[in-house]
Structure formats: structure tokens, C-alpha cells
Structure 1
Amino acid sequence: MVTLADLQVRTLGEATLPSPLAPYVQGRATNEYYVGAADRILYDDTLELIASRGVPLEQLPTFETGGPRPELFFDPATTRVGIVTCGGLCPGLNDVIRGLVLELHTHYGVRDVLGFRNGYAGLVPDSGLEPMVLTAESVARINERGGTILGSSRGAQDPTVIVDRLVELHVDILFVIGGDGSMRGAHRLVGEIDRRDERIAIVGVPKTIDNDIPHIGQSFGFTTAFGRAAQSIKSARVEVEAAIGGVGIVEVMGRHAGFIACYAALANHDADFVLIPEVEFSLDGENGLLAALKRCVAQKGSAVIVLAEGAGQGLLADTTDTDASGNRVLGDIATHLRDVIAADFASGSRPLTMRAFNPGYAIRSVPADPVDSVYCARLAQIAVHAAMSGRTDMVVGRRRHRFVNVPIPIVTAGSHSVSPDGDLWLSVLESTAQPFSMS
């Protein structure tokens, strides 16, 4: 069970320097723009959960509110900042880079910002990758294109070598934009920094297109991703309705969490089946997918299946292979489904027109939509506020419509996923009218 102690954000020391954001509050009756130590956000969201803890109010688990502090730890005039993007691509990476640089430059007066190329590899001298100098002018329009101007890579690097590089370059703050593996790497950097008794802040902006990082609310890029996926589902519906015995399979991202599949299906109600990693299904038997699919095609003339890439792995041969990030390589469930559906329809002499859609890489590479762009800009601002006040070993997120600072260890201790008993999955079942259980 999460406790108040688990949610305490570390600082490098006492913040004593006046913030340059003071002009934003001068002349006001209050300084509500700043956040204070007593302004915290409840972890639990129901009275029942709060009451079940049986502890005084001040001992309830709460998040530190994100935002500017009246005092800073780092002197903007002498602070050097690094930014690195790690892992796979995601809509909004350039928006976050831009937001960080503009906030540092415009409001804090930090002029010395370096962008490390190709993920953590760019922090290893042997890679030969020299950092980019990032200015307000150089990042002014990068939000208009997808991807990341810094490049990215997967895989861990030696934290001692990386910290050597940070010390050599006199970097005071490193912003890490990446997923759970990248944040584990960031936490290892903090451990090495502590061992050397250095004063370098590590602040993360968590990135996962699957929306599977816990305690941060929603990850940036997710809104863009499921919006684009919804367009592919609509295209699949048009295709299969124009065919005899049309069956469309739309494979979307979601290794361990089916949020993109669920939200994309709910966006337009064009899906007949949604298959996600959190909910097991069988192919055979009266309650299996094949029987349900044949009934659907017989009744409606066509069917659309939305498939998260990590769904149905129990139907495939086990593999111990891993990728550069240490993630288990998934079996090809989309090809398996196409093969068994084709064989099943053929065995009953039923007409079948199969259409397959995989918009994954197209989704990852597009620019952020306006909703995500706003979210990226605000996350970047909150991250800068935290770092300049000396916070470290933390990521930024949003809970209860408020921005919060969250310790890295708690966001990497577990994962966020669709609850088979929750209201989101119930909404999907209501939208698709697929059987409550296909096992």
C-alpha cells in the first residue's frame, strides 16, 4: 500500500535564491501563483479508501503539487541544463523539448541548454555524438513536426560513464524524456550522483504512448495516438462494409496495456471486438472469438476487430527473446489471428474478405494534436519549476486536474493497465456489444 513516505520528493538542498518569476505575482493580494509545502494532492480518490487507512489527515498519502516555488536552488545565471529523449518515438517529444527550452530561457533566464543526441547513448563519449546547443530560436518551430530533433535510442548505458560526462560538461540539471525503462535509468544516475556527493538534479517527463506508467494521470502523446488509431478503425469499417464477408483487423500499440485500443474503439463505435492484454480470450468453443466473429458477420455482414499488440500472447508459442530495452519480444498475434480466421471461415465454406491495418509507426511519428501540445507545454513548465527549485529523482504528472511531482521509484515499481472490472472496459463492452467473456 502506498504511504505518505513513498510520495516524498527529494531535494538537493535548501532553496534560498529568489525566483525570477516574482513579477508574475507582484501587486497581487496573494501569491497563489506559487505552490507551498502544505499544498498537496490526495492519493486516494474516495472517502472509503481514505477512511480505510485509519490515519490522521496529515498522514494520508499525498502528492507534492507541481509549480513554481518562491525560492530557487540553482542560480539561473550559472546553471547549465541537459535534455535527452530516450526510447521509442511518441507524439509530443518536440513539444516537450521546446517547452523546456522556452521556459528555461524566457522565464528563468537560463541560457546554457544542451540537447544530448540519440538517447543515453549520446551521453557516452565513445558514441562520438556531440550535444546540440538548444536556444529559444532553434526550437521555435520544432513542435510542428513529429519525432524528436535530438534523436533517440533504446537500451541502458553505464551510469558511471554518463555521470562522468555530466560532471565533465558541468551539467547541473538533466531532463530525461522517456518511458519506464528510461526512468529506471534516470534513477540509477541519481544513485551514482549520490555516491559522488554531486549536486545534479535529474527530472523526468514520462513518455509512453501506451499510457501505462502509473501515478501520473495520462501520458503525453496518448490523445494523439488514440485519435489517429480511431481514424484507422473508421477506415476499416468502410472497407469491410463494402466487401462480402468483410473482416478487418486493426492492430494498435499496447504491449501490456490496452488503453489505445479501448479509447480508439470508443471514439467512433465502429469496432465489434476489442482485444487487449488484460483480458484473456479463447479462439475455439461456443464462447470463443471465432464463434462470436461468425455470428457477428452473419448478422451484420462484416466485423472490425481492434487488436492491441500484446493481446492473446497466451495463444502463441512462448519466447524468451528481449529487445534492447529488456522488454520481451511479443509474438505476432495479428498474423496468427488472420490465419486462424481464414482457416475457420474456409472450413465452413463461408465467404471472407480480410483487411489488415497496422497504423503503429504512422501514429508514433506524427506531430502532437492541440490537446497534447498544450499538455506537453505545461508538463515542461512544471518540470522546469521542479528542477530549478532543486528537486531530483522525480517525474511530473497530473492528478485530480492538478500537476504533481512524483518520485521515480514509485512510478517504476509497477504499471498502469486497463482493469477488466473497471468502468473503462465496461464502456468498451457496451460500445462493441462483444460477449462479456470469450473464454
Structure 2
Amino acid sequence: MAISNNREPKIATGPCGYVLEDVPHLVDYIPDLPTYPNPLQDNPSYSVVKQYFVNVDDTVAQKIVVHKDSPRGTHFRRSGPRQKVYFESNEVHACIVTCGGLCPGLNTVIREIVCGLNHMYGVKRILGIEGGYRGFYARNTIPLTPKVVNDIHKRGGTILRTSRGRHDTSKIVDSIQDRGINQIYVLGGDGTQKGASVIFEEVRRRGLKVVVAGIPNTIDNDIPVIDRSFGFDTAVEEAQRAINAAHVEAEGFENGIGFVKLMGRYSGFIAMYATLASRDVDCCLIPESPFYLEGPGGLYEYIERRLKENGHVVIVIAEGAGQELLSEGMNQQDASGNKLLQDVGLWLSQNIKDHFSKQRKMTINLKYIDPTYMIRAIPSNASDNVYCTLLAHSAIHGAMAGYTGFAVGPVNGRHAYIPFHRVTERLNRVVITDRMWARLLSSTNQPSFWDLNKVEAKKKEETKEETEGQLIVGENHTEATSASRPKE
């Protein structure tokens, strides 16, 4: 049973074009709920903190750079502990579910939700839903305690297991009611957060005192609004190992080509950042930047020139790049509804071999490396571990304060509560007319493989979208739909 989300966004406006895109609260549909003092004020761990609680009116600006005559833009509610909470500790019955693909940091978030609820708020009843959303009505659960999750952050994957595919919303909410669950923490990408949004709408329709909080993750970093998704730093760091191996192999042979395929179904952030970080890459190919193979300015010509100049070439390609060059399987989908991609890495590496051996009569030594599942399966690094802790705590504070129907994440370095529709309405993608992509082109010295007229047209299109995104008419605020750009 699918419940459509037809409700208007919860928006408040103020002077100078200020717009707050707020998140739902339990009192929006259950009035006169009692409140309780936040137990953090008696927690010894927080006794050293000068200010226990976040001001209820604090917000976080989506755009940190504005022009002096432009509107102040969109804000989101700042995350953090509130002075009053809407749940007593012994009343809370929480659950955690992981859905979609694996990502470094999932176990860390699970651990920190369990430990945070227990140590900060005294919550003892926490369930893990095994096997994704279908685990709710398949009755697959495990009790989670700080002892159970003590060292799971040292492992890759998720101890709760995961799944892709459709689910029955009505059955899920029936199970939530039957079990007496009142806080749901959902970990997953944009498809998972869309599912969480639908579950929240059904919970609200039934008038249940149940919080639905999303912690978005995708290794591709394609969730909009937030600065980055957890696991991304780990993925970039691990991707460098594969690039380094490709570089060593390429240098070791005459006309050596190291070819590395990385994750990036629709967004090339891992490929771009790993390329910039490694500094050993001669060519980076991503979904956002079309390329062609033959003819003047094409990929083959560039590879041949680099081989003659340096004796070797290192190429990085995101899995979604060049799909338009392959004709098979374009309309097939996986269980989550994502388009099934062809293996562009294997296809292109074979085409490069054929081109140089048959047409150019050159002997090349190509080594193909695909570290996808090795990267997805590793534990998160130190940076992501700290980040996962902040995400988990922000979600807990929001749930205890009665906020619901939200995803949590950093916006300009400050954690905020973001309405579900904002993190699912589009994908965050590399802007190839932005400075970060220009830095990559400068670092690799590769051509853009784009016709200059197309580049200029793309710039005009994005400038128009940016301008339209600043317009405010009455209470209707339209945010720019161009992709979120990496911060300067």
C-alpha cells in the first residue's frame, strides 16, 4: 500500500527573504502532548558543557555565500538537544533498519544510535530490524544493547543485513503498532529515504506518536543539500589504493595503461575526488561529462599522446560514465528501480586494446582494476567514524524532541534537520562548469571532451536556473534545481 505525500512543505518566511524549510513535529497532528525535562541536564558527561541545549529558533543557512542584494535564502532547523523532550526514557521503544547498498560506516551509526539512546537518554528497549524494510513484517528482529554493538564499528557492512526492492507500507506500520515502536531510525540512500517518507505519512495518517528519522547514506555522495554522505571519505581513501596499484602497474610496462573503475552510478564524486587526491591520474571519466572515443580530441587520441609523452597512462572511470556508448540493457532495472548499468569498465578496456592493437598497430599493456566491492565492504575510517557519531546523536536529539519526518546531515558544517522531500527530490551531481571540475582538468591536463559550444550552453542554462532559484513570490520559494556544488 503506497501513501502519496501530497502535503505542503512546512515553510516559514521572514524579513530580507529569509525562508525556513521546517520539518514536521508530533504536535502538528497530536496536539497537547506532554513534555518532560531533558535528562541530559543531569548527565555527568554533559556537566562540563556550558550550554546544554540548542535554542529552539536556531537555523542553518543552506547557502553560506550570498550577494549583498540577494535574498537571504533557505534555512533548515538546527539539530541538537532541546530543553524539553516529548518522550520519557522508559516510554521509548526504538528500532533501527538499514536498506539499500552497503556503505562504510553503517555499523558505526547503528552502534552510536544504540549507545547514544542508552547513555544519553537512558533508553533500554532498542530493536534491530533485520533484512531491510521487509524485516518489519517478516518478524526478523534482534535486541540491541551497548554490549551487543560494542565493537561492530570495526567491521564492514551492516550487522542488520539489508535488502533492496519494494515493501508494503501498511504492513510495516501495522508491525510498528503491534510492537509498540515509537522511534524509527532509517539508514539508506535516496530510495530508502523515500520509503521512510511514505512510512511517516502513513504514521501521521493514523495519528500515531511515532517518530521517523532518516540518516541518509550513499557511497556515491549523491544526496542533495547535505555537505557529504557518510562513507564517502572512506571510499575516496580506499579508491586511492586502487589508483596507486594501477599507476605502479602502468609504469612497470612499455605503453602501460592502468584502468580503474570506481563507484558512481549517476554522480562522479568518488572518481573526481580520488583523482584529485592521488595526482597519478591522466584521465578521469564521469557520468556528468560525456566523452567520445574516436576522432580529433577523442579519448583514443589523448591516450596515444600521453603514451608517447610519458610511456604510461592511468585512467579512472565512474561506473555510470559512457553508458550512452553501450546499447544493451538500457531499459532494465534492479529491485530498487535503478537502471541496470552495463560494465563500462570491461567494455572500454577491451575497446582500447582492440583500437591500439588492430588500428594503431601499437603494443599496449592494460591492467584493469575494479575495487567496487572491496571499497563498499570495508569499515569506515577515522573521519567517517566521527561523522557517523555526530549524525547518530543529531538524529537521537531530534527524535526525543518530537521532530519527525526528517533526515539529518551537515549543511555548511552545521548539522540540521531536513525535510524528506529535500533529500529525495533530485540527485547531487558534479557540476562540470564549476571550479572543482576545472581543477581536475588542470590536474590531469586532460581535455574536457566537450564541444566548446555545449560548454557555453551549459553555463547559460545553469546561470538561468540559479537566477530563477533566487525568486520569491509571496510565500512560494523556488530553490535552484542545479546540483549542489562543492564548497570553495
**TM-score, with length taken from structure 2:** 0.85
Q: Give 1:351 shift.
A: 1.1
Q: Give 1:130 shift.
A: 2.4
- The residue that corresponds to 1:224 in the other structure is 234
Matched, 1:52 2:64: no
Aligned runs of 1:9-48 on 2, under 5 Å? 9-13=23-27, 16-23=35-42, 32-48=51-67
> In the alignment, is the contact (CA less than 8 A) between 1:289 and 1:438 conserved in 2?
no
- The residue that corresponds to 1:85 in the other structure is 98
> In the alignment, is the contact (CA less than 8 A) between 2:299 and 2:449 conserved in 1?
no
- What CA distance in whole angstroms lies between the structure 1 residues aligned with 2:46 and 2:146? 29
- The residue that corresponds to 2:380 in the other structure is 368
Q: Give 1:52 shift.
A: 2.8
Q: Give 1:31 shift.
A: 5.7
> In the alignment, is the contact (CA less than 8 A) between 1:7 and 1:410 conserved in 2?
no
1:276–1:6: structure 2 CA closer, same or farther, 3 Å change rule? farther
Corresponding residue to 2:342 among 315, 331, 352: 331
In angstroms, what is the RMSD of aligned CA positions? 1.9
- The residue that corresponds to 2:135 in the other structure is 122
- The residue that corresponds to 1:250 in the other structure is 260
Deviating 4+ runs (over 4 angstroms): 2-6, 24-31
- What CA distance in whole angstroms lies between the structure 2 residues aligned with 1:360 and 1:332? 12
- What CA distance in whole angstroms lies between the structure 1 residues aligned with 2:129 and 2:57? 36
- What CA distance in whole angstroms lies between the structure 1 residues aligned with 2:44 and 2:443? 48
Q: Give 1:436 shift.
A: 3.0
Q: Give 1:438 shift.
A: 4.9
1:29–1:307: structure 2 CA closer, same or farther, 3 Å change rule? closer
- For residues 83-115 of structure 1, the C-alpha deviation after alignment (integer angstroms, 9 at most, x for no partner) is 001011100000000000000000100000000
Gaps (5+ residues) in structure 2?
A: 1-8, 13-18, 28-32, 452-488
Aligned runs of 1:183-262 on 2, under 5 Å? 183-262=193-272
Q: Give 1:121 shift.
A: 1.6
Classify the secondary structure of the residue corresponding to 1:350: coil
Q: Give 1:24 shift.
A: 5.7
Corresponding residue to 1:389 among 396, 401, 416: 401
- What CA distance in whole angstroms lies between the structure 1 residues aligned with 2:153 and 2:322? 36
Q: Give 1:194 shift.
A: 1.6
Gaps (5+ residues) in structure 1?
A: none
* Counterpart residue identity of residue 98, structure 1: R
**TM-score, with length taken from structure 1:** 0.94
- What CA distance in whole angstroms lies between the structure 2 residues aligned with 1:437 and 1:52? 35
Q: Give 1:349 shift.
A: 1.0
More relative contact order in 1 or in 2 (CA 8 Å, sep 6+)?
A: 1
- The residue that corresponds to 2:113 in the other structure is 100
Aligned runs of 1:129-140 on 2, under 5 Å? 129-140=139-150
- What CA distance in whole angstroms lies between the structure 1 residues aligned with 2:248 and 2:273? 19
Corresponding residue to 2:316 among 306, 311, 324: 306
> In the alignment, is the contact (CA less than 8 A) between 1:25 and 1:31 conserved in 2?
no
- The residue that corresponds to 2:157 in the other structure is 147
* Counterpart residue identity of residue 135, structure 1: T
- For residues 369-402 of structure 1, the C-alpha deviation after alignment (integer angstroms, 9 at most, x for no partner) is 0110010011101110001111111111001211
- For residues 52-80 of structure 1, the C-alpha deviation after alignment (integer angstroms, 9 at most, x for no partner) is 33xxx6xx421111110011111111110
- What CA distance in whole angstroms lies between the structure 2 residues aligned with 1:256 and 1:277? 6
1:6–1:276: structure 2 CA closer, same or farther, 3 Å change rule? farther
- The residue that corresponds to 1:424 in the other structure is 436
Q: Give 1:353 shift.
A: 0.5
Classify the secondary structure of the residue corresponding to 1:174: strand
> In the alignment, is the contact (CA less than 8 A) between 1:25 and 1:33 conserved in 2?
no
- What CA distance in whole angstroms lies between the structure 1 residues aligned with 2:49 and 2:313? 59
Classify the secondary structure of the residue corresponding to 1:392: coil
Q: Percent identity?
A: 39
